[in-house]
Structure 1
Amino acid sequence: MGSITVAQLGKAYKQYPSRWSRLAEWLIPFSKKRHTLKWVLKDLNFSVSPGEAVGIVGINGAGKSTLLKMITGTTQATTGSVSVSGSVAALLELGMGFHPDFTGRQNAIMAGQLLGYSLEELDRLMPEIESFAEIGDYIDQPVRVYSSGMQMRLAFSVATARRPDILIVDEALSVGDTYFQHKSFDRIRAFNKLGTTLLIVSHDKGAVQGICDRAILLDRGRLAMEGDPEAVMDYYNAMLAEKGNQTVRQELLPDGKVKTISGTGEATIIEAVLVNDQDEMIEIVDVGQSVRIKVKVSISKDIPEVVLGYMIKDRLGQPIFGTNTHHLQQPSQNLKSGENIDFILSFPANLGEGSYSVAVALHTADTHVANNYEWRDRAIVFNVININKDRFVGVAWLPTTLETHR
């Protein structure tokens, strides 16, 4: 079983005002320092327990890849330490270590040896590597003729040819086709169930929330948040739209979940409720029942446009369905300070049994990234039960008719 412990970890790179300053510092070792330190990571502390799946998220430049390189030992820390127990398989930069003039098979052998496989073991595993990669005759062609997706297929197949104690995956999987992404994540989940410790860097909210037990948010080289994947991803989502006067806050709900609220405040949500056809507030919904989301919005500053959007999520925070008034071609325009707007969104709750939440957002254009007036996660929480429909499984109810012909 593999575990990872990161203690007071920091990484800094030397920056010189000119190449002559660098040369002078080398040639005159006892002279004054001629460089400044650029800290990429600083004071990181966390641990990953055996069998745990942890996601690492953050904007580009937050230090995610540098952290993984220090955990795998390809980069040395400036301060602190990393302790790793167990065998490690890492898929970091795409095709890292592949030689473009060697064939896929030759590169697979070299990469396997770097991972600690013996030649006898590689000879035994090669048919499985070829089968999982599914690149056909290209396995004996030079890697320079491979697409990025083919390189990823081969690299992942080699790295996971045998189940490691610790599997570390960077964003490399994002370049693959949808079919292979599903295939790869199925293998990752299977490894995790068998006890493999996972460390995954991804911007894919679904992947982090669907696989990971915990998430870590890095911001400018520091640990900004650690905890439940849904709460961390909601906070990260709010950070992506952060502007100079935007606030981001989190509230602890009675059920122990965390609600994230962010925005600049020109438009705010006064109330968001779920009602039935009799306009009664409800928390229990029957499969297929006609429901409405009612949102009352207050405008505090003259703005040219406001778009209301909603997103239904399952209990794991995975998006089930979402749309907004921009996509419905009904944005509200030329809003005046002091004005109130009532939005009513009607739809059949064609959902499977379970617990759901609704995120509500006020913004411009098609997403909240440009102007995020307010984003409120878990604005509404409700449960779906099946009273009189035929039994089915899943998060969507798709009424099905059957015909048979003999």
Structure 2
Amino acid sequence: MGSITVSGVGKAYKFYSSRWARLAEWLSPFHKRRHTLKWVLQDINVSIGQGESVGVLGVNGAGKSTLLKMITGTTQPTTGSISINGRMAALLELGMGFHPDFTGRQNVFMAGQLLGYQAGEIAELMPEIEAFAEIGDYIDQPVRVYSSGMQVRLAFSVATMKKPDILIVDEALSVGDAYFQAKCFQRINNFRQNGTTLLLVSHSPGDVVKHCDRAILLKGGRVAMDSSSREVTNRYLDELFGKPDEAPADAEASIPTDSAAAHGLSQHDDVFHSRPGYHPSEHRWGHGGASIIDFLVSTPDASYPSRIESNTQTEFYFTVRFDSDFDQVVPGFLLKTLEGIFLYGTNSYLSSRGTAHHSAQAGSVQTYRFSMPMALNEGHYLVSFGISSGDPRQDLVPLDRRYDSVLIHVGRDVQFWGIADLRATYQQLNA
């Protein structure tokens, strides 16, 4: 019990040149084809055994949700077959199947009966469902007044009212708060320990690594990789951040040296945008006279790493080409969350405690490095670089600033609460 076999599955949708073309196709004597096929998935072959926990990853449009809908039977494959062995519970879309005008309690009975439970079973399980959802008196209010978090609380409680043989979870849990997410994953882990097969779709590599032993990467509607969750999430991050399949020769040096050229950093052209991890939505501004033309993120193990383990010493290099003479220039560095929260900012004056003094001549190219441990929680972060002129103790004139120009991913197997790792120590003191 609790297995899934997907054999040669493909899914295509019909596209018509106009609304009349569909009618003409229906009415034509020989049903002359007047449509083209758009293939969303092709040649999908996946086997998931009892008790396995498998994650599904892929960029938007890769076909993840379509695959899950075919597995759960809400849509049918165009080619191939899907075999399900065991009772399945699925949480694909937020509040899917809930009627907004009915109360939460009424929706629990309706959704439960759609899952195959008898009214008596649902009534017996109702106290446990209410206790797990923790929505209080809202259980007797219309679902239309629920927040998205309340809907997912109730939907998950219904889907997992009894241990299923197979549990399928799409991105719906990402809507819930951190407390409820932890509560849901605790229940999922309990199911896994008791033999439930888990299929999890998530955009969070950390969730996939934490909860899945194996992962599948979808790319362009096909299975691009099927391997351990760690290997697949690394490949997914490479795809997400635009890292080429084969690292260019100038990105292979992984041990920092004092030579910028040894790292392949450009000494002439602006190649900043071509580097892995470049964030196209950067905000670039400044008064001119200098241009930031290249960057490098390096750890002891890799250049342009797709994943930086928390607390790993990391080097951030950037190269500046000067078009004018400056008596004093000040390179700067800034780290932010995706939401824009400033985590850490510094410059050459602050990091050197006032000892660094740099000048620049027109036509010269200089490389600067900031080095620090990535003492952060699991997540994605934005890096900004800047070069200014003037006295750092007074007003600096921004020459070129590339804000939010690099996207990095920090990984951490055991997460903590918050963002920064302050490395607290603990000791029990006997009375």
- Sort the Cα spacing of 1:183 and 1:273 in 2 relative to 1 into closer, same or farther, 3 A: farther
1:113-171 Cα offsets, whole Å, 9 max, x none, are 11111111101110000000000000000000000110000000000010000000000
State the match for 1:208 in structure 2. 208
> Which stretch of structure 1 is more off in the superposition, 42-51 or 229-238?
229-238
Q: What's the offset of the Cα at 1:337?
A: 12
Q: Partner letter of residue 54 of structure 2?
A: V
Q: What's the offset of the Cα at 1:60?
A: 1.2
State the match for 2:224 in structure 1. 224
The CA RMSD measured in Å over matched residues stands at: 3.8
1:41-76 Cα offsets, whole Å, 9 max, x none, are 110011101000000011111111110010011101
State the match for 1:326 in structure 2. 334
1:82, 1:18 → 2: CA distance? 33
- Sort the Cα spacing of 1:347 and 1:218 in 2 relative to 1 into closer, same or farther, 3 A: closer
Q: Are the counterparts in 2 of residues 307 and 326 from structure 1 also a CA contact under 8 Å?
A: no
Gaps of 5+ in 1: 250-260, 275-294, 351-360, 379-394
State the match for 2:245 in structure 1. 248
State the match for 1:79 in structure 2. 79
State the match for 2:108 in structure 1. 108
- The DSSP-based 3-state class of the residue aligned with 1:329 is strand
State the match for 1:252 in structure 2. none
1:233-271 Cα offsets, whole Å, 9 max, x none, are 1111111122xxx6223xxxxxxxxxxx5x7x7x63523
Q: Partner letter of residue 346 of structure 2?
A: Q
- The DSSP-based 3-state class of the residue aligned with 1:23 is helix
- Sort the Cα spacing of 1:177 and 1:85 in 2 relative to 1 into closer, same or farther, 3 A: same
Aligned residue among 271, 274, 278 for 2:254: 271
Q: Are the counterparts in 1 of residues 310 and 374 from structure 2 also a CA contact under 8 Å?
A: no
Using the aligned pairs only, state the percent identity.
53
Alignment of 1:400 with 2:367, yes or no, is no
> Which stretch of structure 1 is more off in the superposition, 336-345 or 16-25?
336-345
TM-score normalised according to structure 2 size: 0.68
- Sort the Cα spacing of 1:311 and 1:95 in 2 relative to 1 into closer, same or farther, 3 A: farther
2:74, 2:299 → 1: CA distance? 41
Bigger radius of gyration among the two: 2
Q: Are the counterparts in 2 of residues 271 and 296 from structure 1 also a CA contact under 8 Å?
A: no
State the match for 2:322 in structure 1. none
State the match for 1:302 in structure 2. 269
TM-score normalised according to structure 1 size: 0.72
Q: Partner letter of residue 334 of structure 2?
A: H
2:253, 2:186 → 1: CA distance? 42
Q: Partner letter of residue 56 of structure 1?
A: V
State the match for 1:281 in structure 2. none
Alignment of 1:25 with 2:25, yes or no, is yes
1:217, 1:337 → 2: CA distance? 46
Say how many residue pairs are matched: 334
- Sort the Cα spacing of 1:187 and 1:402 in 2 relative to 1 into closer, same or farther, 3 A: closer
- The DSSP-based 3-state class of the residue aligned with 1:122 is helix
2:127, 2:97 → 1: CA distance? 21
Q: What's the offset of the Cα at 1:330?
A: 4.6
1:159-195 Cα offsets, whole Å, 9 max, x none, are 0010000000000001011110111111111111110
Alignment of 1:40 with 2:48, yes or no, is no
Gaps of 5+ in 2: 271-291, 302-306, 317-332, 336-344, 349-357, 377-382, 386-401, 412-420
TM alignment of 1:315-394, pairs within 5 A: 319-321=309-311, 325-327=333-335, 328-330=345-347, 343=369, 345=371, 365-366=403-404, 368-369=406-407
1:288-312 Cα offsets, whole Å, 9 max, x none, are xxxxxxx973314533254554679
- Sort the Cα spacing of 1:268 and 1:310 in 2 relative to 1 into closer, same or farther, 3 A: closer
- Sort the Cα spacing of 1:318 and 1:6 in 2 relative to 1 into closer, same or farther, 3 A: farther
1:28, 1:348 → 2: CA distance? 65
State the match for 1:257 in structure 2. none
> Which stretch of structure 1 is more off in the superposition, 338-347 or 319-328?
338-347
Q: Are the counterparts in 1 of residues 256 and 298 from structure 2 also a CA contact under 8 Å?
A: no
- Sort the Cα spacing of 1:337 and 1:69 in 2 relative to 1 into closer, same or farther, 3 A: farther
2:40, 2:202 → 1: CA distance? 19
Q: Are the counterparts in 1 of residues 102 and 142 from structure 2 also a CA contact under 8 Å?
A: yes
